[in-house]
Amino acid sequence: MWVIVKTAGILCIMVASAVTGAELERRVKRRWLLLREMYETLLFLEKEMTYHRSPVREAFDYASKRCATELSGVLAQTAERIGQRTGEPFAQMWEESLAAQLPQGLFAREELELFRETSVALCGTDVVMQKTLLEKYADRFRTMSEREAEVCREKGGLYRKLTLAAGAFLVILLF
C-alpha cells in the first residue's frame, strides 16, 4: 500500500514539474511568436496600405486571417469596430482590442505600451510619415522578437530540465 502511495506521489511530482517546465517554455515561446507575428503583420499592412491602398478595415480583416496568435483577434475586433462607424478615435479602438485579446500577464507594461503606440503608425493623417512609422515600429518588433527567440532557445529547454530536476530532487528529498 505504502509502495503504491509513494509511486503515485513520485508520478504526481514528476508530472507537475514536467508540466510546469513545459508551461514556462510555452510562455517564452508564446511571447516570441506574438512579437514575430506583430512584426510580420506590420510589414504586411505597410504593403497593403502603401501599394494596394486597401482601407484599414479591409487590410485588418485580411491580416487577421493570416495570423495564428491572439493578434488575429486584435485585428478582427478593431476591424469590426471600424465597420460600426461609431465615431471613436482609432487609438481608443486599438487599445481596447489589445486589452481584450492579448493574454494578461504575458507582456511587461513597457511592451504593452509599444503595442498601443503602433496606433499612430496604423492610422495617421500624415500619409508620408505613416510609411516611415510602420517601418520603424516593424523594426522595433523585429528586434524584440529576435531577442525573444534567443531567450526561447537558451531558456526554453533549460526551464524544462530545471523543473524536471527540481521534481526529481523533491522526490529524493521526500522519499
Partner 1 sequence: MAMPEEIFYGIFARGIREILQKSGLDLSRLQEIRLRADRPLLLRYESLEYGVTPEGALTKRPECGVCVNSRELEETLEHVSGYSLYAFDEELKQGFLTIPGGHRVGVAGRLVMEDGRVRCIRHISYVNIRLSHQVKGCADSVMRYLVSGGQLCHTLVISPPRCGKTTLLRDMIRQISDGTPYLGGMTVGVVDERSELAGAYLGMPQNDLGLRTDVLEGGLKAESMMMLLRSMSPQVIAVDEIGGSEDCRALENVFHCGCRLIATVHGVSFEEIKKRPLLRGMLREQMFERYIVLEGDPAGSVREILDEQGQRLYRRRHAPQDRERICGS
Query: Given the rule CB under 8 A, which residues bind partner 1?
Result: 49-50, 53-57, 82, 85-87, 89-90, 123-130
Task: List, in sequence order, the alpha helices (H) in the chain.
Answer: 2-47, 56-66, 71-84, 90-101, 109-122, 127-174
Output 87-91 pairs: Cβ under 8 A, ≥24 positions apart.
90/56, 90/119, 90/122, 90/123, 91/116, 91/119, 91/120, 91/123
Q: How far is the CB of 162 from partner 1 (least distance, A)?
A: 47
- Residue 71 vs 79, nearer CB to partner 1: 79
In the complex with partner 1, the residue whose CB is nearer, 120 or 149, is 120
Q: At closest approach, how far in Å is the CB of 83 from partner 1?
A: 9
AA letter at 146 = E
- Considering the complex, what minimum distance in angstroms separates the CB of residue 72 from partner 1? 19
DSSP assigned state of 103: P
Cβ nearer to partner 1, comparing 91 with 151: 91
The vertex-136 CA angle with 145 and 93, nearest 5°, equals 85
**In this complex, which beta carbon is closest to partner 1, that of residue 9 or of residue 124?**
124
**Nearest-approach distance from CB 90 to partner 1, in angstroms:** 5
